[in-house]
Amino acid sequence: MIRRVSSLSLLLPALAAVPLRAQGADAILERTAGTYRELRSLTADFDQVVSNEMIGTFKSRGALAQAGPSRLSMRFTDPAGEAIVIDGTYIWIYTPSTAPGQVLRAPIDRASGYGVNLLAWLLDKPAERYRADLLREDQVAGTPVDVLRLTPTVAGLPFTSATLWLARSDALPRRIEVIEPSGNHRTLTLSNLRTNAALPAGTFTFTPPTGAKVINQ
């Protein structure tokens, strides 16, 4: 009997740690979601890597700005001049390195209003769409972060899994990795984050270059 009690006493702390770990992930994610929803604006530099076994690996970088889930600007410095802009009504995609002479334009998905806004898909009301698991503690460019894995719990999301590196200081992401249904593995690393700054006029306006053909999706 003594041996049974001793074994049980060792097992109970291990069992108790499981829900506590889950609660920790939920609390971290909810803090991030609350911070994100209260932002008037967010700007950052970004480095992006998209890899696919069939097509290879593509790297890009530039500056990102966001004001709410339906306004986003990604202006690329490499490849120079390329842009992805959500102006509140349309998504504009200008990537002459892959689609020369073309601008793609599509209305924002009315069901979500997010379009190609990866941050909004992940951070706006995440508890309604994902199960969160806390993986580990880490650092991104010297910033302490908590690493969470998000597993979709509803259909129709633009990726099959996501991993977030969330800064303990301000709860905002410093790195995001997603796997898309196409097989693309996308990594977005953010630096020089600024919140609630006044944004220049035209930040979320896109004017097609002269001679480019606008293709409505």
pLDDT tens digits, 6-58: 333 333 333 334 443 455 999 999 999 999 999 999 999 999 999 988 888 99
Residue 14: CATH number of its domain = 2.50.20.10
Number of domains in the chain: 1
Report the pLDDT value the prediction gives residue 207, as an integer from 0 to 100.
Answer: 94
Which regions in the chain score pLDDT beneath 50?
A: 1-21, 111
- Expressed as residue numbers, the domain containing 199 is 2-216
How far is it, in rounded angstroms, from Cα 36 to Cα 103?
Answer: 30
List, edge to edge, every strand of the sheet that includes 143-152: 130-140, 143-152, 161-167, 173-179, 185-195, 42-52, 56-66, 71-78, 80-87, 90-94, 102-107, 213-216
Report the pLDDT value the prediction gives residue 17, as an integer from 0 to 100.
Answer: 40
Report the pLDDT value the prediction gives residue 113, as an integer from 0 to 100.
Answer: 61
First-to-last alpha carbon distance for the chain, in angstroms, is: 71
Model pTM? 0.84
Report the pLDDT value the prediction gives residue 7, as an integer from 0 to 100.
Answer: 36
